[in-house]
Chains A and B, each alone.
Chain A
Amino acid sequence: MIAVVVSSTAVVLVTAIALFGLGIAGLLSRRSPIAMLMSIELMLNAGNLLFVLGGQWHGHAGGIAAATLVLVLGAAEAVVGLALALALFRSRPAADVDTPLQTPAPAPSESTAEAPTEARREPAEVNA
């Protein structure tokens, strides 16, 4: 009875769109970098579902092949993202991407002293 009302392509299409929205909401609302990475995985899955659906719409195996490539891409993204998150956790105790990083004092103070003088020098050169 349900099969008459709902087509299977519509089910997958709605699921993919809803999953992408869920991923966006998670990415924007979560503060832990690892939870944000998981939200990105959600969005990758939504894109993959659409790839497979599109391939079947057109009767072409290219959709599945493209989804396979995205799968590998997701693996690489997870590896680099998790390494970044772990490096972040080493420098600060709390799991919050919003708190600014406390940089060691001597090295940045030199660079900040350098930057304004260069900025002041530039307009003079333009005038000359």
Chain B
Amino acid sequence: MNDRVVPLLITCGVALLSGAGMVMARRLVRCACLLLVHSLAIAATYWCMTAEFLAIAQVVVYTGAIVVLFLFVVLLLPEGGSEPRTTTGRTLLALIGAGALLVPLAAIAAGSTEPTRAGATADMSVAAVARVLFGPLLVPFELTALLLLIAIVGAVTLWRRSPAQERR
């Protein structure tokens, strides 16, 4: 994988920059557009990591469905969902919270060593992924169908007006 460092650096850089821009952008439409760029950059990163199936799934599911759903909701909102200005104390608190989590994470990452690649030649093809997904992970995989169904029913229930609200 070492010959792919330069493309990985580019895609990871784009993903990080667009993610940072998304967190800091004031308007929600800009946030959604930067999330679009971010998810495409993540898909490109998967491609560079030889996970082609996941890269395509990321583009179809994430960029095509989730981010476009975000864009639609932002367009539906009154006044484009303008949010009140964030106070500096709040930003400081958020940075402290993120730092408190990042420091132990970085310490763990710095202490980790790359394992000996016993099975480095194992294939990462779609067939290999399917063998895992329909083998040991079959039950969780089938449960995601139920999860999606519950999510749809939940979203419809949340969005439906109750009879008391209809009368007002």
Interface residues of A (CB under 8 A from B): 2-3, 6-9, 11-15, 17-32, 34-35, 37-39, 41-42, 45, 48-49, 52-53, 55-62, 64-69, 71-80, 82-87, 89, 93-96
Contact A29–B2 (Cβ < 8 Å): no
28 intermolecular pairs with C-beta atoms under 8 Å apart = A8-B4, A12-B12, A14-B109, A19-B15, A22-B98, A24-B97, A25-B95, A27-B94, A29-B91, A29-B95, A31-B84, A32-B28, A41-B66, A42-B22, A49-B45, A64-B124, A64-B129, A65-B133, A69-B137, A72-B148, A73-B147, A74-B62, A74-B66, A79-B69, A80-B155, A80-B158, A82-B70, A96-B83
Interfacial chain B residues near A14, Cβ < 8 Å: 12, 109
Contact B86–A29 (Cβ < 8 Å): yes
Contact B124–A56 (Cβ < 8 Å): yes
Contact A38–B154 (Cβ < 8 Å): no
Interface residues of B (CB under 8 A from A): 1-6, 8-9, 12, 15-16, 19-20, 22-23, 28, 31-32, 35, 38-39, 42, 45-46, 48-51, 53-54, 57-58, 61-62, 65-66, 69-70, 73-74, 76-78, 81-84, 86, 90-91, 93-95, 97-99, 101-102, 105-106, 109, 114-115, 117-125, 128-129, 131-133, 136-137, 140-141, 144, 147-148, 150-152, 154-156, 158-159
Contact B42–A45 (Cβ < 8 Å): yes
Q: Tell me whether A8 and B83 are in contact in the complex, defined as CB-CB below 8 angstroms, given that A25-B94, A26-B23 are known contacts.
A: no
Question: Which of B86, B102, B118 has the largest number of chain A CB atoms within 10 A?
Answer: B102
Question: Can you name the residue of chain A whose Cβ is closest to the Cβ of B157?
Answer: A83
Q: Tell me whether A17 and B84 are in contact in the complex, defined as CB-CB below 8 angstroms, given that A25-B23, A28-B93 are known contacts.
A: no
Q: Specify which of B1, B15, B83 is in contact with A30 (CB 8 Å cutoff).
A: B83
Q: How far is B12's CA from A99's CA once the two chains are assembled, in angstroms?
A: 37
Contact A61–B131 (Cβ < 8 Å): yes
Contact B77–A89 (Cβ < 8 Å): yes
Q: How far is B85's CA from A32's CA once the two chains are assembled, in angstroms?
A: 10
